[in-house]
């Protein structure tokens, strides 16, 4: 009888001990890591500009035209560019020019990028040889996507080659970035 009581007691302890051991639970809790939005402005970025332009020379004559530009940003904040434009009016005829620029920009990754530029180049016309000069200005670019944006900028052109030279020029257009 003692043998049966000890065996029964061992069986009861073995059966009940598993109930006190606890239950196995699986944790399905996942750590959520916020995904950072990609910046719309990149390092090593090639850009193509298509723009319309207008301006006033010191003499007060308005000019209208347009052109194309190629820019390369070797860092997010610094870039070089070249542009070719055609502009004119009835008083001066048609002029075309080529300018090279250094760009300094401060892009906000949500789409807006103010920038400053300084450049040198030459303007040619029907009745004159090339007029060398420089310009300085600034602008804003807004990117809709990583590759497409709108820009507007203004600049002051000056040439030491001719007296009473210079004028305000404004451009607006589309910028395609690759």
| CATH number of residue 131's parent domain | 2.40.160.20
pTM for this one? 0.75
**Residues of the chain under the 50 pLDDT cut:** none
* CB-CB neighbours of 7 under 10 Å: 10
* Cβ-contact 105, 77 below 8 angstroms: yes
User: Which phi and psi angles does 112 have, rounded to 5°?
Assistant: -100, 140
Residue 22 domain-assigned? no
9: enclosing H helix or E strand: helix 2-20
Residue 31 domain-assigned? no
Predicted local confidence at residue 93, as pLDDT: 78
Predicted local confidence at residue 82, as pLDDT: 97
Predicted local confidence at residue 152, as pLDDT: 98
Number of structural domains (the chain) is 1
**Domain that includes residue 153, residue range:** 45-177
């Amino acid at each position: 009888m003692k043998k049966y009581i000890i065996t029964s007691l061992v069986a009861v302890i073995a059966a009940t001990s598993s109930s006190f051991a606890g239950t196995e639970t699986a944790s399905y809790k996942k750590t959520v890591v916020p995904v950072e939005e990609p910046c719309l402005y990149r390092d090593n970025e090639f850009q193509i500009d298509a723009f319309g332009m207008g301006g006033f020379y010191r003499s007060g004559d308005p000019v209208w035209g347009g052109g194309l530009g190629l820019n390369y940003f070797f860092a997010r904040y610094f870039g070089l560019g070249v542009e070719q434009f055609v502009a004119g009016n009835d008083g001066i005829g048609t002029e075309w020019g080529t300018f090279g620029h250094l760009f300094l920009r401060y892009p906000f990754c949500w789409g807006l990028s103010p920038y400053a530029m300084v450049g040198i180049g030459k303007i040619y016309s029907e009745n004159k040889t090339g007029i060398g000069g420089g310009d300085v200005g600034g602008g804003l670019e807004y990117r809709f996507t990583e590759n497409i944006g709108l820009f507007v900028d203004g600049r002051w052109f000056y040439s030491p080659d001719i007296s009473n030279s210079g004028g305000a020029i404004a451009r607006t257009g589309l910028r395609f970035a690759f």
